[in-house]
Amino acid sequence: MNKKINTTRVSKFLSFVLRHHPEKINLTLDQQGWAEVTDLVEKLNNHGMTINRETLEHVVATNTKKRFTFNEDHSKIRANQGHSIKIDHGFVPIEPPEFLYHGTAKRFLSSILASGLEKRNRHHVHLSADLKTASEVGRRHGKLVLLSIRSLDMHKAGFEFFLSENKVWLTDHVPVKYIQKKG
């Protein structure tokens, strides 16, 4: 293992290619978003990122948010969520808890309270089951505002929810009436 490997840099670049721009390194993803590991490693190296299979395994295993998953025999890899490219993730709808949370920045609040939570560049609106995670997500954008979502009521009204492998709750859109500002 190359001890000097910058796992954050590798993880960020993996997110970039596996969620958004595989074409930037000439990579092809299948319909479910999987890349061949051999192909990925070769193409990362061709694009100036010195990495081998062992390093990739290390980055995936130690990633704090479990952003990536290998298939069973580790011949393929994909991002667990967060894509902007269209993939068929095979998510199965499930019943959410009574409340889910969304952390955002204060500057987005008036717009959110006018049009609801929108998925923007992602495939889904991302929600968290706990306030700590929601707070971390929100602080990335600026001064934190926490929103509480009546997810079970949404579900009863026919909205679909999915849970990604790394435990992010996903839905298509959250209408204003299910959103309440916390505190």
Distance between CA atoms of 162 and 152, rounded to whole angstroms? 13
SS3 170: strand
User: How near is the Cβ of 27 to ligand HQG at its closest, in Å?
Assistant: 19
58 versus 66: smaller Cβ distance to ligand HQG: 66
User: How near is the Cβ of 166 to ligand HQG at its closest, in Å?
Assistant: 8
User: How near is the Cβ of 20 to ligand HQG at its closest, in Å?
Assistant: 10
Distance between CA atoms of 71 and 52, rounded to whole angstroms? 18
| Number of residues in the chain | 183
Contacts to ligand HQG by CB under 6 A: 65, 67, 82, 104-105, 108, 111-112, 115, 117-118, 120-122, 126, 137, 141, 168
42 versus 129: smaller Cβ distance to ligand HQG: 129
Q: Give the Å distances, CA to CA, from 95 to 38, 56, 57.
A: 37, 34, 33
35 versus 134: smaller Cβ distance to ligand HQG: 134
105 versus 152: smaller Cβ distance to ligand HQG: 105
Distance between CA atoms of 166 and 171, rounded to whole angstroms? 15
User: How near is the Cβ of 6 to ligand HQG at its closest, in Å?
Assistant: 16
SS3 22: helix
User: How near is the Cβ of 73 to ligand HQG at its closest, in Å?
Assistant: 25
Distance between CA atoms of 161 and 89, rounded to whole angstroms? 13
35 versus 168: smaller Cβ distance to ligand HQG: 168
